[in-house]
Structure 1
Amino acid sequence: MASTRPEICAGLQGGLGNQLFQYAAGRALAARLGAELSVHPRARGAAGIKAVGLAELGLTPRMRTGHGGPLRRAALNLAKPIARALGRDVVKTPPGWRGRIHRERGFAYDPVFETLQGSWYLAGYFQSWRYFAAIADELRADLRAGAEAALPRDAELPDLSGDSVSVHLRLGDYADPANARIHGVLPAEYFAAACARIREARPDARFFLFSDQPREARARLSGLDLTVVEGGSRAADLALMARCRHHVIANSTFSWWGAWMGPGGITVAPRQWFAPEKQAGMDLSDLFPEGWIRV
């Protein structure tokens, strides 16, 4: 017999940090509605499915795949000009989807989310802690457990007790000139100011550098007293970042989660999350939890 429960399907896009926001919003809505939870890679083909990083943290919701056959794709292509004229994107839901579509209407938290009933496909980034505040303790425990399970068992791990501070510098795709219009790499001056803020409050703080390119990151921040940490995988890096008492995050959802999963010390975040031109006029107030310091 087919299930009569509603279903919440979270469309996944972006890297692991982005996917965690989308998953968390979907999980919170499913919990409120007593609904089934599924996820759907919005990128077409095997590459999109392989890019799903949730399993690295032990998260295994039902996976919906595909975007339909040639006729459906042709219909979606015909709908694109109309959608563009309305200032909207065509949402490629999975084959057989019968629920409604909830499109993110802006970067800030949308209270309409609290009124949704029935089955919904979530299309957007949902980058606010407020979307999943109701399940925060449960979600944090699950993410910590999944990340810890990814730590290498035969490697010597750093001592992150006491006033340890994770410092994350994202390079990789951010260093690509094409990405400078969206994010771009934060300057060394930000990290110096952020570390100084923590040092003022915690004179005995020890700073640990995390990056997708550790050597290059160390060279860029050569003026700071940092110990480079290499966890061995994205999940392992998250586990070690979350073990730190305090955090200096990059303009990256990856280190956002490393700080959010942590024990609740001092977190410093950049005021410049996006490139200046892109960030102009955007409301970022719901991205950062209460108490986080912006520099």
Structure 2
Amino acid sequence: MIIIKMQGGLGNQLFLYGLYKELLYLGREVKMDNISGFEDDPQRSPSLYKLGISYDIAEDGEIRTMRDSYMDPLSRIRRKITGRKNKDYYEALDGNFDEHVLKADDIYLNGYFQSDDYFKDDEVRQELIADICKNKDLYLGNQDVTGIRKAIRSSNSVSMHIRRGDYLTPVSRKTYGGICTDDYYAKAMELVRSSYPDTQFYIFSNDIDWCRAKYKDTDNISFVNISGDDSDIKEFFLMSECRHHILANSSFSWWAAFLGSADDRDRLNIVPSKWTNTRQMKDIYASWMTRI
């Protein structure tokens, strides 16, 4: 059996689900641990169910056996004497694709595995897109988003994802800061305009008020600000409806672009040339992306 530790936000969970689908395709018995990864992360929780996605969940005993984490007195004494005999396998330190992950068995996978090389088979990709988009029309059929969706579909639309909020904390700034700068967005917008002069930009952000102030005098820009229940899911799907994409160094916009244009070469998907400050992360880039 293979157990994958589910963790992170929506985009990270989708990467782990992509790996899950590929392992199933390869004939493995694979389950998700959807508890351990959120015990110390009160800001996040399993969220793929909002997309209508289901998966096999590992039982507590299966996880404890795999991780050698039973807390009875005899198990504790044994671990003190012989050490922990767990089967944890951590993703590569540089964050790049590790082919061993697709070959191993009897293993507990701990990491984010952010590369489409982990779900490279065409059949898996098509199933993955179908699974993710299963409830898309339900979310985009709501009255608060139908007008925006129509406008996006009727224009040469460009999503521009600007992530602030949690990315401005000291820890996150060390990892993600200084990459998607004002200069990056200016160059990306100019690149899109040079190829498609009639583009309409749609800004998506977790700090939309800052974006309004920043780009208030810029032509052909709309600010997407959905409120209420499941606003993040609605904005995710609206972003995916755009024809072109300017990504932040965020798995959220990575997946929106993947859904929107991974199989259409006549689209621009612009990404920063560096993803993080702490790891190389070269394999998070896909063939359908343009790095600047």
Q: TM-score, normalised by structure 1?
A: 0.79
Corresponding residue number in structure 2 for 1:94 = none
Aligned-residue CA RMSD (Å): 3.0
DSSP 3-state at the match of 2:16: helix
**Percent pairwise identity:** 28
The 3 A distance-change label for structure 1 pair 259 and 29 is: same
| CA contact 2:16–2:112 (8 Å) conserved in 1 | yes
* Aligned structure 1 segments of 4 or more residues deviating by more than 6 angstroms: none
Corresponding residue number in structure 1 for 2:254 = 256
Q: 1:72, 1:170 → 2: CA distance?
A: 45
Q: 2:291, 2:285 → 1: CA distance?
A: 9
1:110 aligns with 2:98: yes
Corresponding residue number in structure 2 for 1:87 = none
Q: Which moved more, 1:226-235 or 1:47-56?
A: 47-56
Corresponding residue number in structure 1 for 2:222 = 227
Q: 1:59, 1:167 → 2: CA distance?
A: 26
Q: CA deviation at 1:54?
A: 1.0
Greater fraction of residues in helix:
2
The 3 A distance-change label for structure 1 pair 115 and 168 is: same
Runs of at least 5 residues in structure 1 that lack an aligned partner in the other structure:
1-6, 84-89, 92-99
| CA contact 1:9–1:40 (8 Å) conserved in 2 | no
| CA contact 1:57–1:150 (8 Å) conserved in 2 | no
Corresponding residue number in structure 2 for 1:181 = 174
Q: 1:49, 1:190 → 2: CA distance?
A: 29
Aligned counterpart in structure 2 of residue 170 of structure 1, from 151, 156, 163:
163
Q: 1:182, 1:239 → 2: CA distance?
A: 27
Corresponding residue number in structure 2 for 1:271 = 273
Deviation per residue, 1:6-49 (Å, 9 max, x gap): x4322112211111111211221122115343343333549669
Please tell me the residue identity of whatever aligns with 1:274: T
DSSP 3-state at the match of 2:284: coil
Q: CA deviation at 1:121?
A: 2.3
Q: Provide the aligned length of Structure 1 versus Structure 2.
A: 266
Corresponding residue number in structure 2 for 1:21 = 15
| CA contact 2:3–2:31 (8 Å) conserved in 1 | yes
| CA contact 1:171–1:217 (8 Å) conserved in 2 | no
1:286 aligns with 2:283: yes
The 3 A distance-change label for structure 1 pair 23 and 75 is: farther
Please tell me the residue identity of whatever aligns with 2:23: L
Aligned counterpart in structure 1 of residue 234 of structure 2, from 230, 233, 236:
236
Q: 1:180, 1:237 → 2: CA distance?
A: 24
DSSP 3-state at the match of 1:286: helix
The 3 A distance-change label for structure 1 pair 147 and 177 is: farther
Q: 2:232, 2:17 → 1: CA distance?
A: 17
Q: 1:46, 1:138 → 2: CA distance?
A: 32
Corresponding residue number in structure 2 for 1:43 = 37
1:157 aligns with 2:179: no
Q: CA deviation at 1:250?
A: 0.4
Please tell me the residue identity of whatever aligns with 1:262: G
Q: 1:218, 1:9 → 2: CA distance?
A: 43
The 3 A distance-change label for structure 1 pair 119 and 221 is: farther
Q: 2:72, 2:177 → 1: CA distance?
A: 37
| CA contact 1:8–1:26 (8 Å) conserved in 2 | no
Q: CA deviation at 1:183?
A: 0.9
Q: Which moved more, 1:284-293 or 1:138-147?
A: 138-147
Aligned counterpart in structure 2 of residue 196 of structure 1, from 190, 195, 200:
190
DSSP 3-state at the match of 2:202: strand
Q: 2:2, 2:138 → 1: CA distance?
A: 27
Please tell me the residue identity of whatever aligns with 1:71: M
Runs of at least 5 residues in structure 2 that lack an aligned partner in the other structure:
none
Q: 2:133, 2:5 → 1: CA distance?
A: 23
